[in-house]
Amino acid sequence: MRALAVVLLHHPVVDREGAVVTTAITNLDLHDIARSAHAFGAQRLYVAHPVAAQRELATRIRDHWVDGSGGRRIPDRRPAMAALCVVESLDAAVTAHGGAARPELWTTSAAGGRAEARRLSHEAARAELEREGPPVLLALGTGWGLAPAVLERADAHLEPIRSPRADGWNHLSVRAAAAILLDRLAGPRAGGERG
């Protein structure tokens, strides 16, 4: 099984007009994505933000639930939040997760990306994770998604999550998308089997 981690990017991401922006860290994203990552066996949730004050905020939130009163009050939250690692950039997450081996960067977006990157269905990505190979870093974007510069770096693009709605409405929170993706990549198969 390949080592899987998630990186939640706050820069570079895009706004609704497609401009590259930096978004703010939200408490809910940290908690919910950390819990999903832990539940489905991801080694780490990296939270990447270029602004020091935002990184300090994320670190304070993590520490409250790992070493502080939050962790004492609700100890079930501690293991998920302990896997949260605050970094300044995608490059820092790549370095931290890869160690001696460069991890593969996987993205998901309705937008294109690097044409030569592999396109993976969720089932194919799951099969890839079950094989031997380099670690995998799954990049998720805040705002309106990952900036083109991130998509262009990807080794593989996962199919986007699609709504079955006839009107085409398809605007999930990054928290919901993370939970769905992690379940599809590492959750139990039909009949309860894992992996």
CA dihedral 3, 9, 14, 16 (to 10 degrees): 100
Mean pLDDT across the stretch 16-32? 96
Highest mean pLDDT among 52-56, 114-118, 150-154: 52-56
Residue 67 DSSP class: T
pLDDT over 90, % of the chain: 81
The packing angle between helices 122-130 and 174-186, to 10°, is 60
- pLDDT for 116 beyond 70: no
Residue 145 DSSP class: S
* Greatest CA separation for the chain: 49
Report which of residues 194 and 164 the model is more confident about: 164
Contact yes or no for 1/133 (Cβ under 8 A): no
The packing angle between helices 27-39 and 174-186, to 10°, is 10
Mean pLDDT across the stretch 98-105? 88
Domains within the chain, CATH numbers bracketed: 4-51+88-192 (3.40.1280.10)
- pLDDT for 192 beyond 90: no
Indicate the residue type of 133. Answer: G
**Residue-wise pLDDT tens digits, 139-148:** 999 999 999 9
Q: Which residues contact 53 (CB under 8 A, 6 or more apart)?
A: none
Structure token digits, residue 60: 């304070």
Q: What is the pLDDT of residue 193?
A: 59
3-state secondary structure (DSSP) of residue 147: coil
Residue-averaged pLDDT of the chain = 92
Q: What is the pLDDT of residue 191?
A: 59
Q: What is the pLDDT of residue 111?
A: 60
**Residue-wise pLDDT tens digits, 38-87:** 999 999 999 999 999 999 999 999 999 999 999 999 999 999 999 999 99
Q: How confident is the model at residue 13 (pLDDT cuts 50, 70, 90)?
A: very high
β-strands 45-48, 4-9: how paired?
parallel
